[in-house]
Every structure is written in structure tokens, then in C-alpha cells.
Amino acid sequence: MQKNIIHVMVVEDDRDEAELIGTLLTTAKIPEVSAEAFRVSYQTTLRGAMAEIAKEYVDVILLDLNLPDSGGLDTLIKLRGEAPSIPIVVLTGAYDRKLAIDVLHRGAQDYLIKGKSDHQLLLRSVRYSVERKRAEEELKRIQTQLIQAEKMKSVGRLAAGAAHEVKNPLAIIMMGIDYLTRKFEGPDEKTKMIMQQMKDAVLRADYVVKGLLNFSSLKDLDMKVTNLDEVLKESIALVRHAMEKRQIGIVTDFDPHLPMVKIDRSRIQQVFVNLLTNAEESMPDGCQLTVKTYAKKVESGSSVGYRTEDHFVPGQLSVVAEISNTGPAIPEEILENIFDPFFTTKRERGGTGLGLSVAKSIVDQHKGLIRIYNREEGGVCAAVFLQPVD
Amino acid sequence: MINGFHMSKKKILVIDDEVNFSNLLKINLEDIGEYEVKAIYKGSEGYEAAREFCPDMIIIDVVLKDADGRDVLSLIKSDSQFQHVSVIILSAVPLKQILEKHPVLLGNTLILSKPITLAMLVEHIHQQLKKSENG
């Protein structure tokens, strides 16, 4: 069995106590935990603990509530606020029933009394906290996915019905405008302009409805073995004009040995055009856009795993198209909403909030992944992972 | 009706249960001066109206309250008199759905989506009629 290294951070100002815990963990020889090894790091203050989790991956925290720079429940609340996803086991000297309940309510995974816990109890507590937290996170992730899928489905259902009910009135308005335009024919420029504006408004409403219909017609894919580089080149050609107008440079870095993919060419092109346009619109003039393709083994993350609904297993080869810009980062608080139908930050500029959600649906239907994240070196990266042809 | 002036006009039968749309379409097309238009609002009256009116072209919506427009068309086209009549399906539902369920209709049939500008519709009417004259 492969050994997993669990990084335990002990936050305890009593050095003897901290060392004792460390020794108990690192010399563990207990069958039920023998599959794991522990790496232990020590902090004596809350500030030190926060600094460590900010720069290092920690699996579990053993926390003494009373530290030189923080005391009581407050210590737990502050640390949880900083790292809500890391499981915390609280250590304290005296048994206090109320405090025990309080720390559990505040999100601690467990509660141990110093001196009263033998190494078996300690190890079990640490391991179970890690496992419980993992299960919780996994559950949360699946719930989010389910909600997202459900949202998409209901929009699709609504779209087909709404389209008919909206397009018919639009057709009447359009015919009416054509009638009035004829009746008011003459030198009156103002009337002409108003008629044209009304026509444009009808076409705009129709455009939104068409976007909605994309949801309901996504089922019919025309899958063909394709070179992804070609599709990207076509997509770039479609947006090049807009980019040039704003002096945005496009750098391409295509892998000449890229494996072929089986895709619906026009649908994937729609995805790329959407991502390219997003990248362009979020950049100030004169910035640079990079388009890259390569083959890569997928790492774990959303939709990667061994369940039937997962699109990739960890380590599986994928064909990646990456579009990155040098523009401003996406604020963290909206990052989780960007794929939601109707979520948009550019409504005043005519955004419908459907572009990315349609893009995601299309990629999902290809059993691929789409990830959008802020790059460490600045800018935003959108990556599409597709299945290579065997 | 049987005078020289009207003889040159093409006859268009509009079948659409959106009463306001049908009426406006009739007014708009007739104002152009090249067409004589009859608008009806019930699919079930389609065949009867076609026999009476003898249209050169039928413009029909496929989603009608009392019937499926495609069935109405099949019935009309099953009459040898209208076997080659030009048809424009003008509908608010996605085009793919229409095609998949009734590929039989394809000959001489054009599918357009609502809303549409009069100019574009007239352009298509023109082309369809020309095609059927040549064919």
C-alpha cells in the first residue's frame, strides 16, 4: 500500500507537550494507521500558525486554545476563518464540557484532553479528522456539481418553451415596425432612426432567446476526429479583428504532435470564441493573449476521479487548449459563479451571462473539463481539457 | 378577380394561429402590390382554404393550437393539385426539431425563424416562387 504523508501542524506554546505529541505521532506503530506517515511541524503562536498555513499545505491542525497571542474559543474561530478547509483537533488542559461542545459547534473535528490521551487515541483522532474533512469536502463538491447540473437542466427546459412564447410576439412587433416604417416614409430622419432602434431592440431580444435555445439543442453533437490546433486557428481568425483594433497581441504556441480529438468542431469553436472574447474584453488595450496547446496528464480536481460521472481519472492523458491573458484577476468571490447561467459582470454592455455556462455544457458533453483560474504570475487562464482519440 | 391586374399577382395562403401576426403579414405583403394574401388562423381549415384559394405559396407555422402544422401540410400536399406548391415554414420553434420529425416535407420547403424582417421574408418568397416556376 502506498504511504500517504499527513502533514500535522502542532500549535502549542508548551514545548514539552508539543514534542510529546510529535513523538507519539512519528513513532506510531499501530496497524490501523500504518498506511500513513506523519510529518509534524510546530508553531507556538496563532500568528505563526496562520503564516504557515498561508504558505504550506497542512492536512490537520492540533490546536491548543490558549496561546501567547490568543486565548479560548477565539483562537479556534480565527484559525478556522483563515483556513476553513483544514481539519482542526483542539487540545486543552482541563476537561470542560461546555467548551468541548462549543469547539465542536465552531467546526473543530475533535477535542482531546492533554495528558489524558494516549497515543492510540491521538492517532485515531488525527486520522479520523482528516478522513471526515475529506468526506465533507467531497460531499460539498458533489453537491455543488449537482446544483450546477440541475440549474443547467432547468434553463434548458425553460428555454424551449419560452422561445416560442417570446419569438411570436417579437415577430408581431417586427411586422408592425415594418408596416409603420412604410407609413411614415419620408424625409423625417428622427422617425427613421426610432424605427431602426426598435428593430434593433427586437433583434437583440431574439439574440438572447437564441442563446437560451443553445441549451436545449446541445444534445445533437456532430463528432468527428479533429486536430484541435486547426479549430483554435479558425477561432482566433474570428476574433482577430477585434483584438487588432485594441492592439492586443496574440501569441500562439501549438504542439505539433498534439493527439487528435473527437469533437463537434463548430461547438468547440463556439467555446474557444467565447473564451477568447472573454479574455479580450477583460484586458486593457495593448495587453497580450497567449494561446497554447499541449498534451498533459490531468491532476485531481473537479470531475476527475473514479466515479461514473467523472470525465477523467487522475493521471489520464488529456489534450489541453489554454487561453491566458495578462489582464486583471477575477475576484475570488465571483470565481465560483462564473459558470452560472445568467451570471454576468457586463450586463450594461449587453452580456447575457450565458456564454460561459453554454461553454461549460458543451465541454461537459465532450466529457472534457473547463477550468478558469487566476495565474500566480498575474492574468487569468482558461483551460479546456479534452479526451484524446485512442 | 379574373381580370388582368389580379392575374399577375401571386397568391399566398398564410396559416398561423397568431391572429395579429397573420393579419400584419397579410397587410404588409399586400401593400407591396405583387401578392394576394389570404390569412387563416386554424390548421384544421387549411386544406379547405387551399382548395378554395388555390395558392402559389403557403406560409405556415408548425405549432398551431388546433393541429400540427406539418400534418396540415401533409394533407394539403397529398392532393396532387398542391403536390408542388411552394412552402415556407415560418416558426418560433427551433428548426432542427421541425426537420427531424418530418423530412418528407423537405422538397420545395423553406424553413425560416420568427422574428423576421419583411424585407428578408419577401426576398425568400421571391426566390421560392422563382424556383418553383423554373422547376
Backbone angles phi, psi at A150, to 5 degrees: -65, -40
pLDDT at A189 over 50: yes
> Rounded mean pLDDT of A262-291?
88
CA proximity to A80, closest of A103, A96, A101, A99: A103
pLDDT at A192 over 60: yes
pLDDT at B98 over 80: no
Give the cell for residue A331.
Answer: 475576484
CA proximity to A114, closest of A24, A226, A234: A24
Type of residue found at A109: Q
> Rounded mean pLDDT of A124-133?
87
Q: What is the DSSP string of A342-380?
A: T--S-GGGT--S-HHHHHHHHHHHTT-EEEEEE-TTSSE
Q: What is d(CA B88, CA B96) in angstroms, rounded to the nearest whole number?
A: 15
Fold of B4-122: Rossmann fold (3.40.50)
Interface test mutation site (partner B, options A168, A184, A220, max chain B beta carbons within 10 A): A168
Pairing of strands A288-297, A317-325: antiparallel
pLDDT at B60 over 80: yes
Q: What is d(CA A249, CA A284) in angstroms, rounded to the nearest whole number?
A: 12
pLDDT at B32 over 80: yes
Segments making up each domain of chain A, as ranges: 4-139, 145-216, 223-386
R_g (Cα) of chain A, nearest Å:
28
Q: Which residues pair with A36 in a beta bridge?
A: A4
Type of residue found at A344: T
Q: Which residues pair with A322 in a beta bridge?
A: A292, A383
pLDDT at B4 over 50: no
A219 vs A186, A213, B24, B111, CA distance in Å? 49, 11, 36, 21
In CATH, the number for domain A145-216 is 1.10.287
Does domain A223-386 bear CATH number 3.30.565.10? yes
- The nearest alpha carbon in chain A to B20 belongs to A172
Residues 6 or more apart whose Cβ sits within 8 Å of residue A37: A3, A4, A5, A6
pLDDT at A11 over 80: yes
Contact A365/A263 with Cβ under 8 angstroms?
no
The pLDDT confidence band at residue B108, using thresholds 50, 70 and 90, is confident
pLDDT at A36 over 70: no
Give the cell for residue A235.
Answer: 477561432
A73 vs A337, residue with greater confidence: A73
pLDDT (tens digit per residue) in A320-369: 999 998 888 888 888 888 887 777 777 666 666 778 888 888 898 898 99
User: ipTM strictly over 0.90?
Assistant: no
Cell 402544422, residue? Answer: B69
Give the cell for residue A186.
Answer: 419620408
pLDDT at B127 over 50: yes
Give the model's pLDDT for residue B92. Answer: 86
Pairing of strands A288-297, A249-253: parallel
Domain A145-216 and domain A223-386 have a common topology: no
The pLDDT confidence band at residue A96, using thresholds 50, 70 and 90, is confident
State in words which class domain A4-139 has. alpha beta
Chain B: closest CA distance from residue A199 (Å):
9
Q: Assign A238 to helix, strand or coil.
A: helix
Interface test mutation site (partner B, options A173, A174, A175, A200, max chain B beta carbons within 10 A): A175
Cβ within 8 Å, pair B18-A179? no
CA proximity to B85, closest of B60, B43, B56: B56
Give the model's pLDDT for residue A275. Answer: 92
Which of A44-48, A74-78, A222-226, B1-5 is predicted least confidently? B1-5
Give the model's pLDDT for residue B135. Answer: 62
Give the model's pLDDT for residue A270. Answer: 85
Interface test mutation site (partner A, options B101, B114, B125, max chain A beta carbons within 10 A): B114
The pLDDT confidence band at residue B2, using thresholds 50, 70 and 90, is very low
Give the model's pLDDT for residue A85. Answer: 84
Q: What is d(CA A17, CA A333) in angstroms, rounded to the nearest whole number?
A: 40
CA proximity to B111, closest of B93, B90, B86, B85: B90
pLDDT at B125 over 80: yes
The pLDDT confidence band at residue A145, using thresholds 50, 70 and 90, is confident
> Rounded mean pLDDT of A50-72?
90
Chain B: closest CA distance from residue A273 (Å):
23
> Rounded mean pLDDT of A254-266?
91
pLDDT at B1 over 50: no
Cβ within 8 Å, pair A172-B24? yes
Cell 411552394, residue? Answer: B86
Give the model's pLDDT for residue B7. Answer: 57
> Rounded mean pLDDT of B68-79?
89
B123 in contact with A at a CB cutoff of 8 Å?
no
> Rounded mean pLDDT of A296-309?
76
DSSP H helices in chain A = 15-26, 46-55, 73-82, 97-105, 119-183, 189-216, 228-245, 265-281, 332-335, 355-365
CA proximity to A62, closest of A122, A116, A105: A122
Pairing of strands B57-60, B10-15: parallel
* Percent of chain B's residues with pLDDT above 70: 84
Give the model's pLDDT for residue A39. Answer: 87
> Rounded mean pLDDT of A22-35?
66
CA proximity to B9, closest of B38, B49, B36: B36
Q: Assign A165 to helix, strand or coil.
A: helix
Segments making up each domain of chain B, as ranges: 4-122
Rounded to a whole number of angstroms, the distance between the first and last alpha carbons of chain A is 30
Q: Average model confidence (pLDDT) for chain A?
A: 84
**Contacts with A, B 12-41, CB within 8 Å:** 18, 20-21, 24-25, 27-28, 31
Contact A58/A85 with Cβ under 8 angstroms?
no
Contact B37/B25 with Cβ under 8 angstroms?
yes
Give the cell for residue A322.
Answer: 489554454
Cell 424625409, residue? Answer: A187
Cβ within 8 Å, pair A174-B116? yes
pLDDT at A214 over 70: no
Chain A: closest CA distance from residue B44 (Å):
20
Give the model's pLDDT for residue A68. Answer: 93
* Percent of chain A's residues with pLDDT above 70: 90
Q: Average model confidence (pLDDT) for chain B?
A: 86
Q: What is d(CA B98, CA B62) in angstroms, rounded to the nearest whole number?
A: 8
Which of A16-20, A265-269, A349-353 is predicted least confidently? A349-353
Cell 473564451, residue? Answer: A275
Q: What is the DSSP string of B23-34?
A: HHHHHHHHHHSS
